[in-house]
Structure 1
Amino acid sequence: MKKMSNIYESAANTLGIFNSPCLTKVELRVACKGISDRDALSKPDPCVILKMQSHGQWFEVDRTEVIRTCINPVYSKLFTVDFYFEEVQRLRFEVHDISSNHNGLKEADFLGGMECTLGQIVSQRKLSKSLLKHGNTAGKSSITVIAEELSGNDDYVELAFNARKLDDKDFFSKSDPFLEIFRMNDDATQQLVHRTE
């Protein structure tokens, strides 16, 4: 399987977006609310796929991680895209229920999608819309995309964490603890930066 960076480069070459001067790089963070599934007895395993339009066709650029049994997923995976000020860059965010048995889309359930332009997200910084499925709203489900311009600062910090004597929350098996790291936004809200596996 190709690395996601290679997939992005391949898609970018196909879309011809490397031929224009790049204005800036933008990070897109994605979260969904109220995702519904055909199977009322179980919760979906949602994944968001980002597609970009060129010459009337849609090409996959990247996808988030799959979050198991969740109707309100907040994804740690970022989409990094080039923003061209003078171009209309049409984006499509598709939410799919991808079971643990496969990562392909042929057998996955389409839960809803949202189309917009990159310019809309960048200008509003935070864009929330209802998910649509076959032209109709997909229940009360919605998607939120937050844009942030990259500063170009390549500094990094290395952190190490460990934990001991965590409470066992599962009765029949060992717990699978993970760590979530958040950052504080200017408006005092918290934003997920990273989730360990």
Structure 2
Amino acid sequence: MSKRQLNNEKRMQAGGMPPMGGPPGPPQMVPMSKVEISISAKGLKDKDAFSKSDPLCIVYVKEMGQDRFQEVGRTEMIKDSLNPQWVRKIELDYRFEERQVLRFAIYDWDNKSSKPDDQDKLGTVECSLGEIMGRQGSQCTYVWVCPNPTLPYPTLPYPTLKNPNKLDPNPPLPNSPVPPQLSKTIQGGTGVLTMEGDEVSSSKEVVTMELTGTDLDKKDFLGKSDPFLIFYRCNDSSQYLAAHKTEVIKKTLNPVWKPIIVPSRTLCSGDHGRSIKIECYDWDSDGSHDLIGECYTNLER
């Protein structure tokens, strides 16, 4: 076999393109999984003079070998909130052996234009998809110290912080696992963006629910309540992520929401025994929604 024939044979075994006129090589199999990213933010910059910002997040990806970012999805816009917890997830193909760079661009969406350039920018965050997915199943624990035993909680240790004089008023319990979310400071704005990745369930099941409320708490001083529901899915790390939101029903203590038709993978990853958290809120125009109550259930009940 000549040297040229040997090189061609190696290329065929690697799945490379054969020389002109030669037979095609075997297809290259790239390890890949479908994942979804949950996004939330805290402490966003307020761009509106008489209300709060109306944040929306656009996600871009730059694949290995590419020189530019491409949009892959957008969250919904949330009215009057500086601490949004977006319900809409961003689905991506996660290629384990490649570096996929993500850019999260946050905007104050104040008009009907679909163009980001027509909106006020609240900042950006960049990271790799591998950084987000690498937090799954993390078992790292805090290192505990008690820097000031004269504090009003003498038996409760505090975690070590970069600034030991600034203590967390609500520290996690000793030896608790680090949350599986990735949090990064927003560049060009204020606040922190939090991202969490989960593998998409293969379940194709669709769930239909009809929900009503009876004698809800009255939260409005001069009226009744404007109730809506938020459903939360419990992930493998026992963290609850916003998964679905109903419409708001105005001025009632006995709401009847429209039938909810949603994939079971959205609510419980297709696992009927997995916990689902439901919160009921009284909607307020300034974004400071009042919690009416909450409950826990699953699809088996």
> Is TM more than 0.5 here?
yes
**TM score, norm. by length of structure 2:** 0.52
In the superposition, relative to structure 1, how do residues 80 and 20 fare at CA in structure 2: closer, same or farther (>3 Å)?
Answer: farther
Determine the structure 2 residue equivalent to 1:117: 128
Larger RCO: Structure 1 or Structure 2 (Cα < 8 Å, ≥ 6 residues apart)? 1
- 1:53 corresponds to which letter in structure 2? K
Q: What do residues 39-97 of structure 1 show as CA deviations (whole Å, max 9, x unaligned)?
A: 45431000000001142211111100000000000010011111111111111001100
Q: State how far apart, in whole Å, the 2-side matches of 1:154 and 1:69 are.
A: 35
Determine the structure 2 residue equivalent to 1:148: 198
8 Å CA contact 2:47, 2:108 repeated in 1? no
Determine the structure 2 residue equivalent to 1:162: 212
SS at match of 1:161: coil
8 Å CA contact 1:129, 1:142 repeated in 2? yes
SS at match of 2:131: helix
Query: How far did residue 162 of structure 1 move?
Result: 2.6
Q: State how far apart, in whole Å, the 2-side matches of 1:73 and 1:93 are.
A: 14
Determine the structure 1 residue equivalent to 2:168: none
8 Å CA contact 2:45, 2:82 repeated in 1? yes
Moved over 6 A (4+): none
Determine the structure 2 residue equivalent to 1:196: 246
Determine the structure 1 residue equivalent to 2:103: 92
**TM score, norm. by length of structure 1:** 0.77
Query: How far did residue 100 of structure 1 move?
Result: 4.5
Matched residues, percent identical? 34
1:46 matches 2:76: no
Which of residues 23, 28, 36 is equivalent to 2:37? 28
- 1:30 corresponds to which letter in structure 2? I
Q: State how far apart, in whole Å, the 1-side matches of 2:92 and 2:50 are.
A: 37
Q: What do residues 151-176 of structure 1 show as CA deviations (whole Å, max 9, x unaligned)?
A: 3122332211133565473859x965
Q: State how far apart, in whole Å, the 2-side matches of 1:90 and 1:64 are.
A: 18
8 Å CA contact 1:51, 1:60 repeated in 2? yes
In the superposition, relative to structure 1, how do residues 162 and 96 fare at CA in structure 2: closer, same or farther (>3 Å)?
Answer: same
Q: State how far apart, in whole Å, the 2-side matches of 1:104 and 1:164 are.
A: 42
Q: Bigger CA drift: 101-110 or 82-91?
A: 101-110
Instruction: Select the structure that is richer in strand.
Output: 1
Counting only pairs closer than 5 Å after superposition, residues 131-146 of structure 1 correspond to structure 2 as 131-133=186-188, 138-139=189-190, 141-146=191-196
Which of residues 65, 68, 88 is equivalent to 1:57? 68
8 Å CA contact 1:49, 1:62 repeated in 2? yes
Determine the structure 2 residue equivalent to 1:66: 77
- 1:132 corresponds to which letter in structure 2? Q
Q: What do residues 115-159 of structure 1 show as CA deviations (whole Å, max 9, x unaligned)?
A: 0111111111321100001xxxx23x0100010012312233221
Determine the structure 1 residue equivalent to 2:144: none
Counting only pairs closer than 5 Å after superposition, residues 3-22 of structure 1 correspond to structure 2 as 21=30
8 Å CA contact 2:101, 2:126 repeated in 1? yes
Question: Which protein shows a greater Rg?
Answer: 2
- 2:79 corresponds to which letter in structure 1? R
Query: How far did residue 31 of structure 1 move?
Result: 0.3
8 Å CA contact 2:34, 2:92 repeated in 1? yes
Query: How far did residue 108 of structure 1 move?
Result: 0.7
